[in-house]
Amino acid sequence: MKDPQVLQKIFLFQDLETEELTRLLRFARSCRVAAREVVIHEGEQGDSMYIMCEGEVEITKRLTLALAEDTPKERVMIRLRAEDGVVFGEMALLENDLRSATVTALTDCYLLEIRRNDFLDFINQDQRIGCKILLRLAQNLSRNLRKTNLEVVKLTTALAIALGG
């Protein structure tokens, strides 16, 4: 099911022509993931990004501070559905670092995996395509950073009010 139309609804690839998407799909690896199976483990080394073609996943983060014994150890951050044009793990295309969250399949999923080395080879072969994808990737990461900054301000404000400061 390596259909370029699947990629056209994904923000990272919206500047690419059909032929460019077809070239990108040549090195994408198909993955079937069963419901309740973990796709990405928080804290593990990451080297690939996943494109959701079918299914639904849940992204969770470990809580670093347990306030009480009955406090959950993880928090659900978001649920993602393939029909929304979703990718996850995209930071691994740019850096060799640890995964920032856990991604678990809620339903049976069909994913395409793009490994960092294949991605870097691809964008080096055609720097025009690489520039298009990297610009979109930078925009996406910038948007996520702005959202995170806003959440930090809200949490800091709430904490200051709660502490009477």
Reported as a single tens digit per residue, the pLDDT across 13-61 is: 999 999 999 999 999 999 999 999 999 999 999 999 999 999 999 999 8
Q: What is the CATH number of the domain that holds 28?
A: 2.60.120.10
Is the pLDDT at 138 greater than 70, yes or no? yes
What pLDDT was estimated at residue 160? 85
What mean pLDDT is predicted for residues 127-139? 94
Question: What pTM does this model have?
Answer: 0.83
CB of 69 closer than 8 Å to CB of 32: no
Range of the domain at 37: 4-162
Instruction: List, in sequence order, every residue forming a beta bridge with 35; answer none if it has no partner.
Output: none
Residue percentage of the chain with pLDDT more than 90: 64
Q: pLDDT confidence of 75, banded at 50, 70, 90?
A: confident
Number of domains, the chain: 1
pLDDT tens per residue across span 60-70: 988 765 555 65
pLDDT tens per residue across span 90-119: 999 989 899 999 999 999 999 999 999 999
